[in-house]
A and B are shown apart, each in its own frame.
Chain A
Amino acid sequence: MDLNYGAEYEEFRKEVQGFCKEYQGVSFKRESNVVADTLNNSSATKKSKKEITRSEWQKILIEKGYIARAIPKEYGGYGGETDIIKSRIIATEFSKAKVPGGMGGQGIDMLVPTLLEWGSEEQKQKYIRPTLHGEMIWCQGYSEPNAGSDLASLQTKGELIDGNWVINGQKIWTSTAQYSQMMFCLVRTEPQAPKHSGISFILIPMDTPGIEIRPLVDMTLQAGFNEVFFDDVTVPEENIVAKRGEGWSVANSVLGHERGSLADPNATMNRLNTLINMMKEQTIDGRRLIDIPSYRDRLMQVQGKVMASQAHSLRLLSSKINPGQNVKLGGMIQKLVGTELRHELEGLAIDVLGEIGTLYEDSPYLKEDGSFQFTYMYFLGLIIGGGTNQIQKNIISERGLGMPKEPKVTEAS
């Protein structure tokens, strides 16, 4: 066990701390095309003197190498080496200082790594830079009404006609579709092929005629998702990433990125601290919530889980920089355990607040802007989304524990 990162990294940490100090309280101008990052719970919504645009902030972070670190300069990245320890230090220090991180979203988190791995040179040149700079927002067109957990059964059809893809069908659970310039979409282009090898990965400008977006309001009462309809939507042939029929492999190579990022342990630790402070401040009959033994015991149980997941993330980090270190199920469990834990934590906050925990939106007496109520529901969405936690359990038992797949149901029965 050696938890020292070494002098070079401690130097780097100081640099990051200095940066965080300089930009403490930075906030963003309201822009119609930018989605509030509900997950980060950053200081972004509070008024402050240091108001800049999201895009300007992206550029500052890229210039320092705090984001897009390993993405080549020619595509708009920092052009450095991947450095997991530095990434960790950046995440930790930003989180501690409550300085907002870089933009997330489907484009930056999923499309950019996909293009780096599978895209043509032209596609990389054309799309990566504006995506990184927050000037091109992407949405993901994967799920369909009849293709949820069984994503590979998707039916949205793409036909190559006169050098163009003509797309017809429907996608659902498309977050940020209404703000996006582009969609990366899974489309069935080879109807004769087996279901996994008949899919292609196609890039679609959202202003193409024939696209209709209908907001889908979720239980938080926000339109977090959309339905997207395609009626003879026509895009050039070169908008395909990789070859025809390779879409399933392309999509799978980055799904892992999404799953891991759904439950960041730093964010969970911040939320735990917020909960603890709230329990010290709020009272019942003049008694602090934290002094009520049953509440306190539940708090301590959640703290134990948060501490375990923090330590686990250090172990995962270690396994990435020390080749050969075996973490067995290490990465596979993150989505399942992380989202359940966060849901439990937010739910505890609601319970200790009692009736106050049921207030919502702009009600008086709201604590922490109602973020516990919102996040409790939001994380139920994440438990279902990104591969339901039941699907996660299938993956863990099959790939992690080597248990057999469920036999296929025969049509005859």
Chain B
Amino acid sequence: MFFGLSEEQEQFQDYVKKFLADNVTVDEIRKIANGEDEALAKEIYSGLINLGINALLVPEEHGGLGADLLSAVAVAQGLGSGVGPIPFAGAYVMTPIAINLAGSDEQKAKYLPQIVSNETKFGVGLSEYVAAREDAGIDLASGKANGKALFVIDGDEADYFLLSNKGGVLFLVDAKDKGLEITKLTSVDKTRSYLELNLKNVAAEVLPGSENNPEIAKKVLDAGRIIFAADSLGASETMIEKAVSYAKERKQFNRVIGSFQAVKHMCAEMASDLEPCYAMLWQAAHSFDHEPDEARLQACQAKSHISEVAKMVSKKATEVHGGMGFTDLLGLHYWFKRIGLNRQLLGGPELIREEAAEIQGFNQ
């Protein structure tokens, strides 16, 4: 019996963390977030791709690493801890899982190797499948998609978008389709992309396995939720580390502020609420691949609970930094905003808890 990340998974996570620590300082994050240095953004993106994070979930027969979701979770924790400004949850987790579970043999043979080579990039828009705002949503009829998809993730350089109608039918659209209008949305978290798609008679390539099986879309959703939880966990871990080390240096009243119980207790509260989240997250990822009966509940609860803890951490860690925590100069806000965006993506805690209740038959 072993409960935790394997040595390989930890190593992979360390590579990601080290790469971000070495290459992406707060100044660089700021440049990327402000769109001031596209070359740098590309360099970081390709550096992380070189580590193989894109190939993790693609089966070996299609040239990938054939890893399980827990490996992707290990990476996502690393990306969250360094606010990695690259696509991941949508492009390299939800997409390969969707194509692998619901794609035809031809689709798998075509797209999966292209994810491994990163020649073809995918944005993902499942927001309306979870909860449609602003009357968005896509109708699918006779191979044509019409409507609007909001809050599409990972799509800045996408060649295709993975979308869904309200019934959970998954399909791909070509980013170059003439009927597709792409608009950038600005979110608080500028380390990741956020798009609006308007579709007029756009050719939709349905993933046939999802047509009569709504469980597929849910599975893809579970994976995305677990990855966002992992990202928030990693970001929270860093925020606590930063708060603790700031509190050990900053002096007031001739003492380091970390010797005041008011400050120590905030740090202890953050750390002790976050600590069980590791196990919860890993359990959810493990259930995703190995315990189908448990998987949906685990994914929902991990996303909602970790979002709540991360929100608390993001607030308290900022407070420990005092006025500096509020400044752009320190850049702590990148982690704060990362956690803020993750919390809402693919359903905020209240919506997801309602789903968790439904899974257990609690709301009749």
Binding site for B on A (CB under 8 A): 1-6, 85, 276, 280, 288, 290-291, 293, 296-297, 299-301, 303-305, 307-309, 311-312, 314-315, 317-319, 321-322, 325, 328-330, 332-333, 336-337, 390, 392-394, 396-398, 400-407
- Interface size counted on chain B using CB atoms at 8 A: 50
User: Are B259's CB and A396's CB within 8 A?
Assistant: no
Q: Verify if B42 is at the interface (C-beta below 8 Å from A).
A: no
**Candidates A276, A332, A394; contact of B264 at CB < 8 Å:** A394
Instruction: Enumerate chain A residues within 8 angstroms of B285, measured Cβ to Cβ.
Output: 1
Given known contacts A304-B304, A311-B279, A406-B260, is B271 in contact with A296 (CB within 8 Å)? no
Enumerate chain A residues within 8 angstroms of B130, measured Cβ to Cβ: none
Q: Does B131 contact A (CB under 8 A)?
A: no
Among the stretches B1-9, B135-143, B323-331, B336-344, the one at the interface with A is: B1-9
B267 interface neighbour in A291, A301, A305, A401, Cβ under 8 Å = A401
A5 adjacent to B1 (CB under 8 Å): yes
List A contacts of B267 (CB < 8 A).
397, 401, 403
Contacts of A319 in B (CB 8 A): 4
Could you tell me the distance between the alpha carbons of A292 and B105 in the complex, rounded to whole angstroms? Answer: 46
Nearest CB on B from A346, distance (A): 19
B304 touches A300 (CB 8 A): yes
B279 contacts across to A, CB distance below 8 A: 308, 311-312, 314-315
Question: What would be 21 A-B contacts, judged by CB atoms less than 8 Å apart?
Answer: A1-B3, A1-B70, A5-B1, A85-B1, A290-B357, A291-B363, A296-B362, A299-B357, A305-B276, A307-B280, A308-B277, A311-B279, A312-B279, A325-B4, A333-B276, A337-B272, A392-B268, A393-B264, A398-B264, A401-B244, A401-B267
| Other A-B pairs beyond A393-B269, A402-B244, A403-B267, 11, CB < 8 Å | A2-B1, A2-B3, A85-B1, A290-B357, A297-B354, A299-B357, A390-B265, A401-B267, A402-B248, A403-B258, A404-B248
B350 at the interface (CB under 8 A from A): yes
CB–CB B264/A1 < 8 A:
no
B350 with A315: CB separation less than 8 A: no
The docked-state distance in angstroms from the alpha carbon of A164 to that of B259 is: 44
Q: A residues within 8 A CB of B263?
A: 403
- With a cutoff of 8 Å between Cβ atoms, the chain A residues found around residue B290 in the complex are 3
Q: Which residues of B sit under 8 angstroms from A308, Cβ to Cβ?
A: 276-277, 279-280, 301, 305
Name, among B264, B279, B350, the residue most crowded by chain A CB atoms within 10 Å (CB to CB).
Answer: B279
| Residue from B272, B273, B278 having most chain A Cβ neighbours under 10 A | B272
Asked if A314 and B273 make an inter-chain contact with CB atoms under 8 angstroms apart, the answer reads no
Q: Closest B-chain residue to A88, C-beta based?
A: B1
Instruction: Establish whether residues B286 and A1, one from each chain, have CB atoms under 8 Å apart when the complex forms.
Output: yes
Q: How far is the CB of B237 from chain A (nearest CB, A)?
A: 10
Instruction: Check B244–A403 contact: CB distance below 8 A.
Output: yes
Q: Which 7 A-B pairs have the closest CB atoms?
A: A304-B305, A318-B3, A311-B279, A393-B268, A312-B276, A397-B264, A300-B353
Residues of B within 8 A of A337 (CB): 272-273, 275-276
Q: How far is it, in angstroms, between the C-alpha of A328 and the C-alpha of B267 when the chains are bound?
A: 15
User: A residues within 8 A CB of B304?
Assistant: 300-301, 304
Judge whether B363 and A393 touch: CB under 8 Å. no
CB-based nearest A residue for B291: A3
Q: For the complex, give the distance between the alpha carbons of A5 and B363 in Å.
A: 36
B251–chain A nearest beta-carbon distance, Å: 11
B21 at the interface (CB under 8 A from A): no
In-complex Cβ contact of B271 among A4, A304, A322, A333 (8 A): A333
Give the CA-CA distance A405 to B244 in the complex, in Å.
14
A8→B248 CA distance, assembly (Å): 49
Q: Determine which of A321, A330, A390, A394 lies in contact with B1 in the assembled complex, contact meaning CB atoms within 8 Å.
A: A321
Residues of chain A contacted by B1 (CB below 8 angstroms): 2-6, 85, 317-318, 321
Complex Cα spacing A188 to B308, Å: 47
Of B2, B240, B247, B298, which one neighbours A2 at CB under 8 angstroms? B2
B283 within 8 A of A: yes
- Give bound CA distance, A73 to B354, whole Å: 53
With A300-B356, A312-B276: A406-B271 Cβ-Cβ less than 8 Å:
no
Q: Mark B82-105, 1 if CB is under 8 A from A, else 0.
A: 000000000000000000000000
Q: B255 an interface residue at 8 Å Cβ cutoff?
A: yes
Give chain B residues whose Cβ lies under 8 Å from the Cβ of A394.
Answer: 261, 264-265, 268
Contact with A along B274-312 (1 / 0, CB 8 A): 011111101101100010000000100100110010000
A304 to B309, CA, bound (A): 11
